[in-house]
Amino acid sequence: MAIWNEEKQSYCCECGCGEVIDSWKSYVRGHQSRGRVYSQEHCDRLSEIMRSKVPFISEESRQKMARTKTGVSFTQEHCDNISRGCRKAYMDNPGLSVLNSELRKKEFQSPERLELASTCHRKALDSDPAYREKLSEAQKRLWADPKHCRMMAEAFNRKPNKVEQELLLYLEEDFPGLFEYWGDGRQGSIAGKLPDFVCPSKKLIIEIFGSPWHELEEVESRTKLFETLGYGCYVLWVDGPMDVATGYYEVSDWVKLKVGDS
């Protein structure tokens, strides 16, 4: 992921060049290989891929290609040459970009590839706590960026579901204009989370949890997280729209108590 630069107060390319990029990116285009050292395992895997995709390359040529990359740290000049060559190829042949995109979609969206990726990801999470922690911190950093939240909301066209719409109607009737819907990410995030309803002026949060999307243990952890940031949090557990009507009385009493206290 991109590296935060205190001096520039922005995210910069992970290669260390100092160029400013969006927080959800890792590198400026063409900088991915700067300073990267390939292991023997990586080279062997690359050789296997090339063997399956390009069968006309001889075994001797494949071994030579693998040896040339083993332990190599690419220079700045080499990376710039690769970047210029790729740009020229795409500019000379606009259809090349579309073709490559379609080929990659077909490859990476195949059931076999998705299952393999899921298995490898689960294995990495289970076997390497450091990797799991690093991934968690990266995701928190991404969702702390309002620009990323808005981008994801637009990309997935997120909207309140039926249960959230039902609760929003009740809240607007009893507390008009007090709560805003934050579940889609368009308003931003809090501690990397997207709470369902937020009252910024009173620092109140209402969450809707329910099975099978949540566990009961999450209620306490989510409440404590927001409390450490000065927010009061109420979690309404529902399994359908009817549960909102029966549980709203407790929500209403909680809001009245908090608004009255403040």
pLDDT, tens only, 191-230 = 888 899 999 999 999 999 987 778 888 889 999 999 999 9
Q: pLDDT band at residue 34, thresholds of 50, 70 and 90?
A: low
Residue 175 has pLDDT above 90, yes or no: yes
Q: Return the pLDDT at 223.
A: 92
Strand partners, 204: 199, 232
Contacts of range 61-67, beta carbons closer than 8 Å, 24 or more positions apart: 67/43
Range with the largest mean pLDDT of 62-71, 96-105, 252-261? 252-261
Stretch 21-40: mean pLDDT, rounded?
71
C-alpha 48/C-alpha 248 separation (Å) is 59
Distant-in-sequence, close-in-space partners of 183: CB < 8 Å, separation ≥ 6: 158, 160, 164, 194, 195, 196, 197
Q: What is the mean pLDDT of the chain?
A: 79
Q: pLDDT band at residue 35, thresholds of 50, 70 and 90?
A: low
C-alpha 205/C-alpha 229 separation (Å) is 11
The fraction of the chain above a pLDDT of 90, given in percent, is: 19
Q: Return the pLDDT at 130.
A: 83
Q: pLDDT band at residue 181, thresholds of 50, 70 and 90?
A: very high
Domains, the chain, ranges and CATH?
162-261 (3.40.960.10)
| pTM strictly above 0.85 | no
- What residue has token string 């023997």? 40
What is the three-class DSSP state of 90?
helix
Q: Which residue has the higher pLDDT, 106 or 21?
A: 21
Q: Note the residue count of the chain.
A: 262
- What residue has token string 């390497």? 128
Distant-in-sequence, close-in-space partners of 63: CB < 8 Å, separation ≥ 6: 47
Q: pLDDT band at residue 37, thresholds of 50, 70 and 90?
A: low
Stretch 150-162: mean pLDDT, rounded?
80
Whether omega before 146 lies within 30 degrees of 0, making that bond cis, reads no
| pLDDT, tens digit, 9 for 90 and up, residues 119-139 | 877 777 787 888 888 888 888
